[in-house]
Amino acid sequence: MIAARHDNNGWRKIKSALASVLSMCAAVLVIAPLGLVFFYLLQKGAGSVNWNFFTQLPKPVGEAGGGMANAIAGTGELLGIASLIGIPIGVLGGVYLAEYGTSTRNWWLRFVADILNGVPSITWGVVVYGMVVLTFKSFSAYAGGLALGFMMIPLIMRTTEEVLLLVPNGYREASLALGISRWKTIVHIVIKTASKGIITGILLALARIAGETAPLLFTAFGNRFWNRNLAEPIAALPLQIFSYAISPYEDWHRQAWAGALVLVVGIFVINVLVRFLTRGRTATVL
Amino acid sequence: MSNLTMSSPTPISKSSGITPTPPEDSNSQVAAPAFDVKNLSIWYGEKRAIKDISIQIPARTVSAIIGPSGCGKSTFLRCLNRMHELVPRTRIEGQILFNGENLYRPGSDPAMARRRIGMVFQKSNPFPTMSIEENVLVGLRLNGVRDRHVLNERLEKSLRMAALWDEVKDDLKKPGMSISGGQQQRLCIARAVAVEPEVLLMDEPCSALDPIATARVEELIRELRTRYTIVIVTHNMQQASRVSDRTAFFYVGELIEFGETAQIFSSPRERKTEDYITGRFG
C-alpha cells in the first residue's frame, strides 16, 4: 500500500515536471519571434537609421541618402485623424455598453464589435476607397485616417466598456445620491476613475493601427513629398516601407529596414507607456 | 459595542417605567412628518420586497429601522430618495409624500429629490481620484456652485459638522482614500451634508467600522439630528437604541411596529418584535 503510493508519487512528479517543461518551451516560443524581429531589424536597419532618416525627404531614384521624414509625419497625421474619429466614438460606445445599454442590445453591440474587430484590414481600405476616394476623386489623408479610425472604434469600445465595468457601483451610487445627474456622474466620476484604463485602451488601439498598411494602400496612397493638404495623398511609414521593400534598389531596401525598425520601436514605446500607466495594478486597470 | 461609554439619549433603563401602550399616532402628529408613506409596495421583478407599508417619519428626529437580513430595510430606505430605481425591473406602488409633496410625481427628476435627501452608505466610498477637499465639494461643484468663497465656507462647515475638521484641516489636498476607514465614513457624511440636504438616509453606516470609529459616528448622528431628519438602517439593535428616537421593526417586507425607541425596546406591542429584540430569532 505504502509502496504503491510511493510509485504513484513518483509518476506524479514526472508528469508534473513534464508539464512544466512543456509549458516553459511554449513560453519561450512566444518570446522567440519578438526577439527574432528585433534582432533582425537591428542587424539590417540600425545602420541606416541616422539623423537624415528623420529629417530629409526621399531622394529621387538613383541618388543615395535621403530619409522618410514625410512618412513619419504622415503616419502622425493619419493617427491624429484616426484618433479624432476612433476615440470619441469608441469611448462613447463603451460608455453606452457599460452604463446605458440593456442586456439584449449590449449582446448585439458586442457581437457586432467583435465582428468588426475581425474584419480584415484590407476590407476597410476597400470600403473607404468606395466611400471617400471615389466620391471625392482623390486619395487623401482624410480617407486614410478614416480607414484607420474605423479600425480603432471597436478596439476602444470594448476596452472602455471593460474598464468602466471595473469601477465599483458604490461610486456611481454615491454620486447619484448627491443629486448629481447621471451624465455628470458618468463623466466626472466613472470615466475619471477609469481614465487610466481608457487611455491604456486608446494607446493599445493606436499601437495596433500604427503599422497597418493594407487600409492605406488605396486611401492614403502615399507620396514622396511633404503633405500640405489633408485632401491630397499622404505618405505613411508602413506604405513607404512597402514600396521601398518591393523596389529593385539596394539603397531603398536599407531604408525600408530602417523604417521597419523605427515603426517597431515606436510601437514598443507605446506598449512600454501602457505598462507604465498600468503598473502595480493587476485586477483593476483603473 | 454596547459597552462603550456613551450617554445615550434614550437609555433603555430609563424607559422601563413607560406604560406599554403609548398612543401610536400622537407622537408623529406633533410636527408634520418629513415622510408620509402610504401603502407602499415594491417589487423586484416578480418578488415583492416591501408589502403594503404605511409609516410617518417625523422631521428632525432619528428614526432607526431594524430587522433581520433580507427584510426589506435597505430597499425601503432606498426608495425614500429614489435610489432603488437604479436596480432594473423594480416597480413601486403606493405613495410617498416628502414634506407633503409626492416624491414620485410623474416626470419629476430623481436627482432633485436626491439633492434634498442625502445618503450615506454601508461601505465608505470617497471618490478615489479626488482629494479630501474635492470629495466634500463634489456635490456642489457638479451642481454648478463656482463661488470660491461659498465653497471654502461650505468645506469647513461640512467637515466640522462631520466632526472631521480638526483631524484633516492640514491635509485637505491629500487623497480621500488616504485617511482611516472611520474618517472616510465621516468624510462621506461631510460630502452628503455639503449639499445641505434636509434628510440624511444612512444604510448601516457603521457596519464596516471598528467600535471606536462606530462611537464617533454614533455621536455625530446624535449631533446631526437637531438639523436633519435622519433615517438609519441598522442590524445592530444596541445601536438603534443608542442613537434613535423612534424605531421601526421590519420583518419579511412588512412593518411590524413603529414607535418610541424606548417603548420598542422595553415593551414592544407585537410578539414578533419582542422575539426579535430578545434574540429569539433573526
DSSP 3-state percent helix, strand, coil across chain B (nearest 5): 35, 25, 40
Residue B216 is part of a domain; what is its CATH number? 3.40.50.300
Give the one of A179, A189, A286 whose C-beta lies nearest to B114's C-beta. A179
Backbone angles phi, psi at B200, to 5 degrees: -120, 120
The answer to whether the CB atoms of B195 and A178 lie below 8 A apart is yes
- Checking if the pLDDT of B13 tops 50, the result is no
Query: What CA–CA distance (Å, rounded) separates B206 from B11?
Result: 20
Chain B environment of A179 (Cβ under 8 Å): 111-116, 139, 143, 195
Q: Is residue B187 part of a domain?
A: no
The C-alpha cell that represents B204 in the structure block: 448601516
Any B CB within 8 A of A6 CB: no
The answer to whether the CB atoms of A175 and B138 lie below 8 A apart is yes
In A, minimum Cα distance to B190 occurs at A178
- Residue among B23, B98, B22, B94 at smallest CA distance from B57: B98
Could you read off the pLDDT of A180-234 as tens digits, one per residue?
999 999 999 999 999 999 999 999 999 999 999 999 999 999 888 888 888 899 9
Give the one of B118, B128, B142 whose C-beta lies nearest to A177's C-beta. B118
| Residues forming beta bridges with residue B203, ordered by sequence position | B233
- Checking if the pLDDT of B31 tops 80, the result is no
Query: What CA–CA distance (Å, rounded) separates A150 from A87?
Result: 10
The C-alpha cell that represents B76 in the structure block: 425601503
Element (H, E) at B183: helix B181-194
The answer to whether the CB atoms of B142 and A188 lie below 8 A apart is yes
pLDDT of amino acid B4: 42
Q: Is residue B145 part of a domain?
A: no
Query: What CA–CA distance (Å, rounded) separates B242 from B218?
Result: 8
| Residues forming beta bridges with residue B247, ordered by sequence position | B64, B259
Q: What is the mean pLDDT of residues A82-105?
A: 94
The distance of A171 to chain B (nearest Cα, Å) reads: 6
Q: Is residue B225 part of a domain?
A: yes
Could you read off the pLDDT of A116-165 as tens digits, one per residue?
999 999 999 999 999 999 999 999 999 999 999 999 999 999 999 999 99
Any B CB within 8 A of A2 CB: no
Domain of B71 in residue numbering reads as: 26-119+199-277
Could you read off the pLDDT of B37-96 as tens digits, one per residue?
999 999 988 888 999 999 999 999 999 999 998 888 999 999 999 998 888 888 999 999
Q: Is residue B150 part of a domain?
A: no
Any B CB within 8 A of A181 CB: yes
Q: Is residue B257 part of a domain?
A: yes
- Checking if the pLDDT of A2 tops 70, the result is no
Any A CB within 8 A of B186 CB: no
The distance of B113 to chain A (nearest Cα, Å) reads: 7
Any B CB within 8 A of A213 CB: no
Q: Is residue A187 part of a domain?
A: yes
The answer to whether the CB atoms of B129 and A193 lie below 8 A apart is yes
Q: Tell me if residue A94 falls in helix, strand or coil.
A: helix
- Checking if the pLDDT of B182 tops 80, the result is yes
Strands (E), B4-61: 33-44, 47-58
pLDDT of amino acid A275: 85
- Checking if the pLDDT of A241 tops 90, the result is yes
Q: Tell me if residue B117 falls in helix, strand or coil.
A: strand
Element (H, E) at A26: helix A2-45
Any B CB within 8 A of A186 CB: no
Query: What CA–CA distance (Å, rounded) separates A215 from B206?
Result: 58
What is the pLDDT confidence band of residue B282, given thresholds at 50, 70 and 90?
low
Q: Which residue has the higher pLDDT, A1 or B223?
A: B223
pTM here is 0.82
Mean pLDDT across chain B, nearest whole number? 86
B72: left (phi over 0), alpha (psi -120 to 50) or beta: left
Domain count, chain A: 1
In B, minimum Cα distance to A169 occurs at B125
Q: Is residue A170 part of a domain?
A: yes
Cα–Cα–Cα angle for B276, B280, B282, rounded to 5 degrees: 55
The answer to whether the CB atoms of B121 and A173 lie below 8 A apart is yes
Domain count, chain B: 1
Domain of A239 in residue numbering reads as: 51-277
Chain A environment of B125 (Cβ under 8 Å): 168, 170-171, 173-174
What is the pLDDT confidence band of residue A4, given thresholds at 50, 70 and 90?
low
The answer to whether the CB atoms of A179 and B192 lie below 8 A apart is no
Any A CB within 8 A of B87 CB: no
| Longest alpha-carbon distance in chain A | 85
Q: Which residue has the higher pLDDT, A103 or A285?
A: A103
- Checking if the pLDDT of A238 tops 80, the result is yes
Q: Is residue A13 part of a domain?
A: no
Tell me the residue type at B59.
Answer: A
Chain B environment of A175 (Cβ under 8 Å): 127, 138, 142
Q: What's the N-to-C CA distance of chain A in angstroms?
A: 54
User: CB under 8 Å to B172, separation ≥6 — which residues?
Assistant: B131, B132, B133, B155
Q: Is residue B13 part of a domain?
A: no
CB A157 within 8 A of CB A94: yes
Query: What CA–CA distance (Å, rounded) separates B185 from B176?
Result: 10
Could you read off the pLDDT of B128-139 as tens digits, one per residue?
999 999 999 999
The distance of B6 to chain A (nearest Cα, Å) reads: 30
Could you read off the pLDDT of B107-119 as tens digits, one per residue?
889 999 999 999 9
Q: Tell me if residue B37 falls in helix, strand or coil.
A: strand
In A, minimum Cα distance to B124 occurs at A170
The C-alpha cell that represents A82 in the structure block: 484616426
Residue A197 is part of a domain; what is its CATH number? 1.10.3720.10
Residue B60's Cβ-count burial label (10 Å; 0-12, 13-18, 19+) is middle
CB A186 within 8 A of CB A231: no
pLDDT of amino acid B16: 39
Cα–Cα–Cα angle for A115, A117, A123, rounded to 5 degrees: 85
